[in-house]
Structure 1
Amino acid sequence: MDDAFDDLLTANRAYADDFDMQGFDGIARAGVAVVTCMDSRIDPLGMLGLKPGDAKILRNPGGRATERVLVGLVLGGTLLGVDRVLLVQHTRCAVATNSEEQLLTRVGEAAGQDAHWLAVEAISDQRRTLAEDVHKVASHPLVAEHVRVGGFLYDVDTGLLERVA
């Protein structure tokens, strides 16, 4: 084994020293699920004033309501206490500021092989995409009727959320 993860394991041991979520049942205490981008500038809990245990967090490139995300939201709404879903995309997102071709070319160049078989699903219009994803989640037959869904744009330069759908 190499030492590539040693710094993280050391940090984990320090984290575990003060760990206080023993016995937690996994129910979203604030009734919230957040679907957002994998971008490291986004702190899903912090931006909403929440803490660990309050929300279910699902992340992917672009913050899209993919088929696997829908599975998570179905489970969240039926079994894990979720009654509000925030779909959050963000400003200056690589998936929303580059075309599919640009992204696949860049990936291919970095990987040293053709990447055009990969579906990145670039976003050409975030507001339209958010509206479509809100509809996709809200109209899913297994997402509980009591679950409210909203689409938001997070500004990575100000930390503010804007409701757009």
Structure 2
Amino acid sequence: MQSTTHRAARTLVLVRHAKAESFAEQDHERELTSRGAGDAARAGEWLAGYGVVPDAALVSSAARAAQTWEALAEAAGYRLDPVLDDAMYDAGPETALDLIRGTDQVVGTLVVVGHNPTIGYLAQLLDDGEGDPDASAGMLEGYPTGALTVLRTSGAWTDLELGGATVLAFRTGRE
């Protein structure tokens, strides 16, 4: 009898926080502007329309990232408490990828809300070049506030490598 390993398809959504105020007493406390809140809500509506239903959310503990998740989740109708992670606040791409690799294996769809340049770089570094060429090209033009990338990968989160995901869609925050 031949053994077959099932490689589950997983969806990863990388989101840069929406537009935030320029200054606060501490950077970690910067909050979304009204435009940012609206952009995040539109992103949530778009994700719901695209059919994304997350099992988990990994969100930077910064106020602007948490508020992006809140507005996005409310607009999409997600009833999911995020994991607010201090490490995502100042994570570089490798650290962010390590945090994603730590995701519970029962999670099929993960939304990550973080900061640039990390989120934009990570989306590009994960791109295997086999997905939507317009989406991949759009990411290269910039990753503005509120932008997001939907990627598909197979296998365990622990096995996710650079170049190991297919870009399905890219959306900027003002769409």
**Same fold at TM > 0.5:** no
Where relative contact order (Cα < 8 A, 6+ residues apart) is larger, the structure is 2
Q: Which structure would you say has the larger Rg?
A: 1
Taking structure 2 as the reference length, what is the TM-score of the superposition?
A: 0.32
Taking structure 1 as the reference length, what is the TM-score of the superposition?
A: 0.33
